[in-house]
Amino acid sequence: MAVLQLLKERILKDAKTFPGNILKVDSFLNHQIDVDFLCEIGKEFKKRFSGCTVTKILTIESSGIGIACVAAQFFKCPVLFAKKTKTKNISSDVYQTKVASYTHGTSYDVVVSKEFLTVGDSVLIIDDFLANGQALLGLIDLANQAGATVAGCGIVIEKSFQTGAELIKKTGIKLESLAKIKSLDDGVIFV
Ligand code: 5GP
């Protein structure tokens, strides 16, 4: 079965909804990881960004890392993940930005080393979910600080009824979401 259809079916079958428009896909993406399935997702990202130069995949810890690592095998490039930090004294060796967390309702700082993100890079940003776009905007900010190019953003599950997709489209950056959730009203998943 085609990966997009499979993803849709797994969301409908396995995902659980929580208050605050949160969807949990712990059985295959966010806790237990179905690596074979992620492989198909990685291939799909490669197909969607086939015309793009990608020197690095950029993601954010923690749930983006597994997806990014599997996808990177098809792009033949390294993965760089923005690390969450609690340190107040941010070193001059890192680029830093603030991200509002959708699931925790707080803000946190994330950093990447200047050594690993440079002006010559063309990054593909990958994450598990797109809600209000704050994680992607933070990653785009880090790339901009480094003078790197953003080749595009690849998302496994976009919640299209939230503001993120519009915000990213406004930046002019190519956005590819493999599944789009139209609504989660009353806990009913409408893909
Ligand atoms: P955004 O920054 O777009 O508001 O939210 C995206 C980030 O929050 C992602 O990194 C993801 O981990 C988390 N997130 C947002 N919505 C959901 C959701 O419904 N389920 C899960 N598991 N994570 C979410």
Q: Which fold would CATH assign to domain 3-187?
A: Rossmann fold (3.40.50)
CB 71 within 8 A of CB 48: no
Q: Whole-model pTM? A: 0.98
- If you average pLDDT over residues 108-130, what whole number do you get? 98
* Ligand 1 center–CA 23 separation, angstroms: 9
Domain ranges of the chain: 3-187
- Which pLDDT score is estimated for 1? 80
pLDDT of residue 87: 81
Angle at 36 between CA 32 and CA 39, to 5 degrees: 110
Distance in angstroms (rounded) separating the CA atoms of residues 84 and 87: 9
Q: What is residue 108's predicted lDDT score, i.e. its pLDDT?
A: 96
Q: For position 90, what pLDDT does the model report?
A: 81
Q: CA-to-CA distance for 38 and 52, rounded, in angstroms?
A: 21
DSSP state of 32: S
Residue whose CB lies within 8 A of the most ligand 1 atoms, among 24, 28, 30, 102, for a mutation test: 102
pLDDT at 132 over 90: yes
